[in-house]
Amino acid sequence: ERLRMKKMLELQRMLREREGRRKAEKTDPKSILSRYFRDRAWEVYEAAWGQFPTVMPQVERALVEAISSGRINQEIDGESLYHFLRGIGLPVRLKTTIRYKEHGELKTLEQKIREGL
């Protein structure tokens, strides 16, 4: 009888721990966004946080709320996130480099100009 009671209490404790972890995961915005962000979306997201740290918490809440309510049900790639942010008035600047392939290796425009001199 005691063994059965002890085992039941242990199972209840494990069940509560699992539910607690699930709730914590559901409330963590990064974990919710990570299920929908694809490709370069995190790069755009981090650049936006660096450039607009006062506004991005509101944007993050809005995105998480839209995902949770089902209004957003598709994956979000970097381009669509970039256009969304521009649409709401946040012109995110991304680091851009021009590279091309020459003889099997990638070179930047800067390297090519140096070689030419």
Cβ 81 vs Cβ 87: under 8 Å: no
With CA atoms as reference, report the closest residue to 2 among 25, 19, 52, 10.
10
Q: What's the chain's average pLDDT? A: 87
pLDDT digits (tens, 9 = 90+) for 38-51: 989 999 999 999 99
pLDDT digits (tens, 9 = 90+) for 89-100: 999 999 888 888
pLDDT digits (tens, 9 = 90+) for 50-104: 999 999 999 999 999 898 888 998 999 999 999 999 999 999 999 888 888 888 8
- Model confidence, pTM: 0.65
Q: Which fold has domain 29-116?
A: Helicase, Ruva Protein; domain 3 (1.10.8)
